[in-house]
Amino acid sequence: MSFLRPTEPVYLLGPKSWLPERVVTNQDVLDWMGTRARPSWITHRTGVEQRRWVAEEQACSDVAAAAASRLLEDYRIDRERIAQLLLATVSGDYPTPPTSPLVLPKLGLDRVGVLDLSAACAGFTSAVHMGAALTAATGSDQLVIAADIRSKFLNREDLATTALFGDGGASCLVSRLPEQADFQFVASELAADPSMADIIAIRAGGSRLPHHQNPDPTKVFLKMEHGATLFMKGVDNMSNGATSLLRRLEMTVDDVDWFVPHQANLHLIRAVTDKLGADRAKVVETVQFTGNTSGASVGIALSHLKEHLPLRPGQSVLLISAGAGGASACALLRSL
């Protein structure tokens, strides 16, 4: 496990989130797939009532830039402050080059370090962990973005996957300066469960199976396998990660004011809540109207907490995430 607890204060401005304009209802999904299932089937199985999908011409760098632009504009952040851009995504514009350099001109940034992070559903929390570590080590500001597009990797013949996912992005600035900050970073921890390494995957397009060698067209789509195992592993990895971080900080679940879990699906969120013994009234849920936005989901949910729920200064906020590849990340923040 990778535990981080800076000795000097580190702060977060934001996050700000961005969702595509296109609203896709459960009936829209069923019409797109050409199936006769009822919209209530999707709601019952996943908790998702609608999600947002990008337009055909939009790519990951566009989503990332839209989320970051909202942050930079709303906080009037001087771009000269930014030393590095960290982009968490598993749906980059291309296999090569990385997507973070493509975001720079869209934001008017130059001579800024860039780094793509691939942590799937743990993307936003992992990027905050890395941003906090870099800020603590260098004193410089890190622009953190999590952005994912899942709608372009969905199989019309796979209702379980297609019904679940949405697109979106979130961004925050990690800094040593407290001015305008919304949260103080307290600590974080990363881990992984390799037994989940290939349960959620797009099989084609990498060096294991390049596109030109792929004989199976379905392997270009996102696929979730072993549903019961995936659910149980997800619950275990998220709850165990949260428990581990709280134990290191000599805290209990009762010391946490707000829980912001990865918005995998509503049943998984509530199973994690129950396993932790947390009060459901303290758990942020956005999956009903966003779907599962992969690595961006925790950032979007944290933005929702900050802007729409009764978050008060001094409250503790626990970010909890795990997903594809078995990657997991948890972080504790203190609201300002």
Residues labelled as active-site residues: 121, 262, 292
Describe the crossing of helices 39-46 and 26-33 by its angle, rounded to 10 degrees: 120
Give strand pairing partners of 187.
332
HSE-up of 112 (CA within 13 Å, CB side)? 26
Describe the crossing of helices 123-138 and 297-308 by its angle, rounded to 10 degrees: 80
Q: How many Å apart are CA 21 and CA 328, to the nearest integer?
A: 30
Other C-beta atoms closer than 10 Å to the C-beta of 329 total 33
3: burial class by Cβ within 10 Å (0-12, 13-18, 19+)?
A: middle
Query: Which of 264, 307, 328 is CA-nearest to residue 123?
Result: 328
Query: Which of 307, 290, 81, 61 is CA-nearest to residue 179?
Result: 81
